[in-house]
Amino acid sequence: MPARSSSLIPGPLGQLTDAAPTAPDDLPSLLTCLAQVPDPRRDRGRRHPLVFVLSLAACAVLAGAKSLAAIAEWAADAPPHVLARLGGPCREPDRGAVAPAEATVRRILQRIDGDALDTAVGRWLAGREHAAGQEENDSDRPLPSLAVDGKTMRGARRTDGTQVHLLAAMTGTGLVTAQREVDGKTNEITVFRPLLAPLDLQGTVITFDALHSQTAHACFLVEDKHAHYIALVKGNHPTLHRWLKALPWREVPLLDKTRATAHGRDEIRRIKAAAVTGIAFPHAVQAVQIVRRRRIVTTGKVTLERVYGVTDLTAEQADATEIARRVRDHWGIENKIHHVRDTTYAEDASHVRTGTAPRAMASLRNLAIGALRLTDQTNIAAGLRHHTRDANRPLITLGIT
């Protein structure tokens, strides 16, 4: 039985198939979700429906397309029946549906409403994840989790020279269900609430880094969204950080220890948790200390870091082992989303930088990664190669049948 928090302180690839993820009939299809995105073009002169171009782009990215030119090339090579299934126009009966030119794809993705596209992608992914979760025994399931973290697209710069920065929310299964762009004149803090406000977060545990450990955020999550939080505390709350650091941690027993080796680093994490009262952070009832010992495998260099945090979860809702797992899952957003987009899709090296195209491509990559994970494919690169070999496979995985 896992240890409870101390109260000493007062106050695989073999799953690759051609089967679409199962989903209830009342869930909106991807085409239905994409149809809610407003068309940025004038009514006059439209040759290709917006939902057709967006679904084509989604299929192309799922097949490994990394650029706007690659999307147009995949569309040009797609069989007529694939184009027709996606809603492509047919002007000559003997030729079938016609693919859009690269210029059309480029103009649309450079001018698309990024918030609307992210909402459509998030709605489709969240609906399928919820449907899959309903098949499990509710009594055996832990509280759902959502990790909020930001990523800078290093290859994409605005006209004023600033880089495109996105704030995303990832579920415990590695699906990005919400994403917003951070304006170059502000920071992630102002985007936190708009990112999460549209989501149903009741009973969900939200994790975030120290930047978002704001009292307003904690009140918003607990009081408005009826959610929970695990907040890391650093120098942005100096008084609270000193208070947490000064707690008698030596008297608190070690409750969890894990070890992991990845990316050339050997890391040991130790965690202690204690019930507290009178803490100067809204709704906080537990304090947490995490000690991370990292060793660089190649050089042998060792670093030691102590991280403190607070949560509104009681010891009965989440003991130290559970808190440690959720914190590790939060750090996992780097591997599950950011690392995949950087390595498999070479996102940081992408030269897509005009208008909303960088964000649109990030949204389509989130959709592709999420769609693969919904079919239990953990090797994303292999999943993309699998979909590259047959133009019908992206449609099947995305449920466009």
What is the tens place of the pLDDT at every residue in 180-197?
999 877 789 999 999 999
Q: Which residues pair with 288 in a beta bridge?
A: 273, 309
* Burial classification of residue 139, based on how many CB atoms lie within 10 Å of its CB (0-12 exposed, 13-18 middle, 19 or more buried): exposed
**SS3 state at 2:** coil
Distances (CA, A) of 83 to 48, 99, 307, 368, 391: 11, 7, 52, 19, 10
SS3 290: strand
Residues 90, 206, single domain; the answer is no
- Residues 4-42: pLDDT tens digits? 444 444 443 333 344 455 555 678 999 999 999 999 999
In this structure, the answer to whether residues 343 and 384 fall within a common structural domain is no
Name, in order, each residue with C-beta under 8 angstroms of 376's C-beta and a sequence gap of 6 or more. Answer: 12, 15
The answer to whether residues 91 and 221 belong to one domain is: no
Asked if the structure places residue 243 within a domain, the reply is yes
Overall domain count for the chain: 2
pLDDT tens for 81-130 read 999 999 988 776 667 788 999 999 999 999 999 999 999 999 999 999 88
- Number of Cβ within 10 Å of residue 186's Cβ equals 10
pLDDT, one tens digit per residue, over 305-318 is 899 999 999 999 99
Predicted local confidence at residue 139, as pLDDT: 52
The tens digit of pLDDT for each residue in 311-358 reads 999 999 998 889 988 988 887 777 788 889 988 998 888 878 788 999
Q: Are residues 281 and 326 in the same domain?
A: yes
Do 38 and 166 lie in a common domain?
no
Same domain assignment for residues 191 and 289: yes
329 and 306 within one domain: yes
Is residue 77 a part of any domain in this protein?
Answer: yes
Please report whether residue 376 resides in a domain: yes
Task: Classify residue 4: in a domain, yes or no.
Answer: no
Instruction: Examine the domain organization and report whether 92 and 161 are in the same domain.
Output: no
Could you tell me if residue 15 is inside a domain?
no
Residue in 205, 181, 169 with CA at minimum distance from that of residue 312: 205
Q: Are residues 283 and 335 in the same domain?
A: yes
Dihedral sign for Cα 125, 130, 131, 132, please: positive
- Coil/strand/helix, residue 119: helix
Both 155 and 254 in one domain: the answer is yes
Domain interval for residue 341? 144-349
CA-to-CA distance for 105 and 57, rounded, in angstroms? 8
Whether residue 73 is found in the same domain as residue 163 = no
Residue 25, pLDDT score: 60
- Domain check: are 39 and 169 in the same one? no
